[in-house]
Structure 1
């Protein structure tokens, strides 16, 4: 019996040793899992997340009392070549070399638009505020007029309205081949719209219209929701230029 007891004890010790040997590799599992989950995500991941979050970090002030905006971008060389622009020294004088500038951010309704609304804000735009916009809106006369006629109908303060104006300008990617103004060009109105829609995913030809006069490109008008995302506005699109040849005056 003692001999059998010894065999049994030896067998139990062997089984215990085998069990411990199998457990050591298994104990590395959780550590390996933690290391795997700590690996950084693919290179594009964090950047994509930041890009998605940026609009939410600094959203443009949203107005009230209208349906959507029209961002009107004026082609400055055409304006400066006109009788009206010839006397505008801030935008057209000296070494001014502007391309697309903001004509205005216009509150618009599905049927018509408000203008010259009553506001608790003053009519005059302070110099300090106005001149901070000169890189995209280079004239105090233009800035003051746009506030009185359109900004006063936005439901925003002067500061918030012009903050929304800058944000709207920044929301649109200008097609380089046109915006550079390096040389004179002749394009159809449809080709100009195509250049803008190709540069701006989400913008359709039903949400943009071209203004032309005397065979020249004058303005590009783009419809935006209050959060400055693109939207269609067929009633505005129907009024746009349909010229087959539109001259784009170069920046001089």
Structure 2
């Protein structure tokens, strides 16, 4: 009996040893979706972020109506375009035109033919496929190469933060109001009033709108751009997170269509 007990004890000890040897090392924690923040290791001395959200039916519209692929999801209607840092101070000191920064982004610092590698977790990749428009060229890779890579921001952290900011706006009553307007025209000021009811009073050009022309030539809502303080993303969507945009980039008229999907 004693011999059997010693055998079993040895067996259990061996199993425990083997289990410890084969146990996978702990995986690093992913950034929490509950508190948006970004660590910017390089060129961190920029003045603001632009959070660009899309109204997907308008963003995917164009003269031919084929801006997005056939697999574009019909929902959600409010999507994510990007989170764009403004010019770092060295480019301002070099008097680089802001329009050049808008056009080239990180390509100013890097060889444009050097495609940076982006690796994201499966969960985040799936989430981005839901909220980022399915353009004919990969919009996620484009955003990373143009607006993220030269800042050395971790891709997982960046897109987690950007997605969280999009979700925070999409949860607001003003976003629900916007969704209720699908297929109808709206006064720009009316939309601003609903947004500021949620955020509080915003600085001039704290929120701006981008419009497209659809295949019928109508002016349609395509994007909403928010100008945000780099060190206050966690306060979004409250007014404390906002800055006045240095540039007037709103191209929507006083009244425009909030389009619905046509396919």
* TM-score range relative to shorter protein: 0.5 to 0.7
Q: Distance in 2 between matches of 1:152 and 1:74?
A: 22
Deviation at 1:202, TM superposition (A): 5.2
Residue deviations 1:41-63 (CA, integer Å, cap 9, x gap): xxxxxxxxxxxxxx9x8452233
Secondary structure at the counterpart of residue 115 of structure 1: helix
User: Which has the larger helix fraction?
Assistant: 1
Q: Distance in 2 between matches of 1:147 and 1:84?
A: 26
- Say yes or no: does 1:115 pair with 2:106: yes
- Say yes or no: does 1:234 pair with 2:245: yes
Between the two proteins, the alignment pairs up a number of residues equal to: 192
TM-score by length of 1: 0.64
Secondary structure at the counterpart of residue 135 of structure 1: helix
Q: 1:77, 1:251 within 8 Å by CA — same for their partners in 2?
A: yes
The structure number with the bigger radius of gyration is 1
Higher relative contact order (CA 8 A, sep 6+): 2
Q: Tell me the equivalent position of 2:177.
A: 177
Aligned-pair Cα RMSD in Å: 3.2
Deviation at 1:150, TM superposition (A): 0.9
Alignment of 1:168-207 (within 5 A): 168-172=165-169, 173=172, 174-181=174-181, 183-201=182-200, 203-207=202-206
Alignment of 1:205-224 (within 5 A): 205-214=204-213, 215-224=219-228
Residue deviations 1:19-52 (CA, integer Å, cap 9, x gap): xxxxxxxxxxxxxxxxxxxxxxxxxxxxxxxxxx
Q: Tell me the equivalent position of 1:151.
A: 148
Deviation at 1:78, TM superposition (A): 1.3
Secondary structure at the counterpart of residue 122 of structure 1: coil
Segments of 5+ residues of structure 2 without an aligned counterpart are: 1-31, 93-97, 214-218, 236-240
Q: Distance in 2 between matches of 1:147 and 1:192?
A: 30
Q: 1:75, 1:99 within 8 Å by CA — same for their partners in 2?
A: yes
Q: Tell me the equivalent position of 1:243.
A: 253
Secondary structure at the counterpart of residue 175 of structure 1: helix
Secondary structure at the counterpart of residue 159 of structure 1: helix
TM-score by length of 2: 0.61
Deviation at 1:127, TM superposition (A): 7.6
